[in-house]
Amino acid sequence: MFALPLGNHAQLRPLEPWHAQEFLAHIDRARPHVDPWIPWATFSTDLASATAVLQRYADQQAADTRRIYGIWLDGTLVGGVMFTKFDAASGVCEIGCWLEAEGAGRGLVTRACRALIDWAFGERGMSRVEWWVASGNTRSIDAARRLGMTRDGVLRQHSPYRGIRRDSEIWSILSEEWSPVGGVAASDVKAELDQLMRTFLGAFTNTGGSEPNVDAVREVFIPQGMIISHVGAEPVVYDLDAFVEPRLRILTDGTLTEFSEWEVAERTEIFESIAHRFSEYRKSGFLNGEWFEGSGRKTTQFIRTPAGWRMSSMAWEDV
CA 206/CA 287 separation, integer angstroms: 12
According to the model, what pLDDT value does residue 101 have?
Answer: 81
**Phi first, then psi: what are they for 259, rounded to 5°?**
-90, 140
The radius of gyration of the chain's CA atoms, rounded to the nearest angstrom, is 21
CA 68/CA 82 separation, integer angstroms: 4
According to the model, what pLDDT value does residue 177 have?
Answer: 83
158: left (phi over 0), alpha (psi -120 to 50) or beta: alpha
- Each residue of 158-206: pLDDT tens digit? 877 777 788 889 999 999 888 765 445 556 788 889 999 999 999 999 9
According to the model, what pLDDT value does residue 182 have?
Answer: 46
Do the Cβ atoms of 137 and 170 come closer than 8 Å?
no
Per-residue three-class SS string for the chain: CCCEEEECCEEEEECCHHHHHHHHHHHHHHHHHHCCCCHHHHHCCCHHHHHHHHHHHHHHHHCCCCEEEEEEECCEEEEEEEEEEEECCCCEEEEEEEECHHHCCCCHHHHHHHHHHHHHHHCCCCCEEEEEEECCCHHHHHHHHHCCCEEEEEEEEEEEECCEEEEEEEEEEEHHHCCCCCCCCHHHHHHHHHHHHHHHHHCCCCHHHCCCCCCHHHHHEEEEEEEEECCCCCCEEECHHHHHHHHHHHHHCCCEEEEEEEEEEEEEEEECCEEEEEEEEEEEEEECCEEEEEEEEEEEEEEEECCEEEEEEEEEEEC
- Each residue of 5-29: pLDDT tens digit? 887 688 999 999 999 999 999 998 9
Q: Domains of the chain (ranges plus CATH)? A: 4-183 (3.40.630.30), 187-318 (3.10.450.50)
Quote the crossing angle between the two packed helices 186-202 and 138-146, to the nearest 10°.
Answer: 160
Residues in the chain: 319
According to the model, what pLDDT value does residue 142 have?
Answer: 85
**In the chain, what is the greatest distance between 2 CA atoms, to the nearest angstrom?**
67
**Phi first, then psi: what are they for 190, rounded to 5°?**
-60, -45
CA 233/CA 253 separation, integer angstroms: 28
The segments of the chain whose pLDDT lies below 70 read 1, 8, 36, 39-41, 180-187
According to the model, what pLDDT value does residue 136 have?
Answer: 78
